[in-house]
Structure 1
Amino acid sequence: MTGTETPRLREMRWWDIDPVLELERDLFPEDAWSRGMFWSELAHSRGPEATRRYVVAEEETEQGGSRIVGYAGLASAGDIGDIQTIAVARDQWGTGLGARLLTELLRAATAFECAEVMLECRVDNVRAQKLYERFGFEPIGFRRGYYQPGNVDALVMRLTTAPDSGPAAGTETEEGTQSNG
């Protein structure tokens, strides 16, 4: 049973890795990230030399606890941001949470002074593609056989974040999405 409150977004911390891994394995069973991958990303997310931004969406449960219902991460290198992952729990699809997570990553890209933001998503994940397109991402190519196993191609998308063409606001009516790049 889930809470009735809108999930709150906050910085992902090391103690979130285990619940994030549970969600990761549910959503991406064949190409889930490892604990070490999340540790490595979080190691670069704090301090003056930070090049990563990871957030979780957390909702209160009826039992008084909380649970992670989404997460997202961005890496920056120079003036290019790369969305590493966005995931939304199945019971949160269609609530606008994917758009909220993406908005937070685009804020981070602005803070990192990224001129463009890149991402990959499965060619068969139309829901995610539609979300990204609403935010102004455009398809620019493919990575053949990127997702393993299964040899599924990735669609590469780019958003130019020049000051006069800032990211589209996206809507809160988007359908839930999952992307793992």
Structure 2
Amino acid sequence: MTWQLRRAGLADVPAIMAIENAMFPSDAWSTDAMARDVADPHCYYLVAFPPDAPEQIEAYAGLLAPRGAPEADIQTIAVSTAAQGRGLGRVLMLRLIDEARARGAREVFLEVRADNPGAIHLYTSLGFAELGVRRGYYKPDNVDAIVMRLNIPAPQAALAEPSPNTTTPLETNS
């Protein structure tokens, strides 16, 4: 299965909330809070959908990253049960990290439920490190949140060098 990504808009909030409520039944965001974040210019939300069905949202992810701020925060990410296990969460996270870098962030933070080993593994594999624990953060379940941080390396500019077996347009055979 392949997916396409696009920037989320207010029209996507009902589909986002369907996934949100299914994945986080006891501590889902409110529709109003999600709509505020999606519309906030300091936030960057993406949705993922099959190429032939743009209305069929299978995942979403959101980032809070004011332009020029040194820190960014992964606000939320969820992949529908039907789309899990295919790398979609990783793709969304990589895209949010790229956006944070483009907006000038040097660090990205997130909180993850301590009882979500799949998400913890994903974040660790992307280079996030545990900073601490917020006891009882997720209500009403009273589940701890693990706070994690990723240091974003500065982009490196370099000139592309052709391989020795490559002919470039500047070369001639005279």
Q: Which has the higher contact order (CA 8 A, sep 6+)?
A: 1
1:67 to 37, 56, 62: 56
Task: Determine the structure 1 residue equivalent to 2:89.
Answer: 98
The alpha carbon displacement at 1:150 in A equals: 1.2
In 1: Cα distance, 2:50 partner to 2:103 partner: 28
Q: How much does 1:34 deviate?
A: 1.1
Deviation at 1:42, TM superposition (A): 2.0
RMSD: 1.7
Aligned residues: 154
Counterpart pick for 2:37 among 38, 41, 44: 41
Whichever structure has more strand as a proportion of its residues is 1
The correspondence for 2:13, drawn from 17, 20, 27, is 17
Unaligned runs of 5+ in 1: 45-49, 166-181
Identical positions, percent: 40
- What's the CA shift string for 1:113-156, capped at 9, x where partnerless? 10100000000111001100111000010111110111000000
Counterpart AA for 2:70: D
* Distance change >3 Å, CA 66–CA 43, structure 1 → 2: closer
Relative to 1, partners in 2 of residues 1:139 and 1:69: Cα closer, same or farther, differing over 3 Å? same
Structure 2 unmatched runs, 5+: 157-174
Change (3 A) 1:65 1:16: closer
Q: How does 1:1-181 map to 2 (within 5 A)?
A: 5-44=1-40, 50-60=41-51, 66-77=55-66, 78-163=69-154
Larger radius of gyration: 2
Q: Which runs of 4+ in 1 moved over 4 A?
A: none
What is the CA deviation profile of residues 53-112 of structure 1, one whole-angstrom value per residue up to 9, with x for unaligned ones? 000001256xx6741100000002521000000100111111000001001100110111
Q: Write the distance in 2 (CA, Å) between the matches of 1:67 and 1:164.
A: 35
Question: Do the aligned partners of residues 30 and 115 (structure 1) sit closer, same or farther apart at CA in structure 2, a change above 3 Å counting?
Answer: same
C-alpha displacement of 1:24: 0.6
The letter of the residue matching 2:86 is T
**2:9 and 2:39 in contact (8 A); partners too:** no
In the alignment, the residues of structure 1 paired with residue 99 and residue 46 of structure 2 have an alpha-carbon distance, to the nearest angstrom, of 10
Structure 1 length as normaliser, TM-score?
Answer: 0.80
User: C-alpha distance in 2, partners of 1:104/1:150?
Assistant: 30
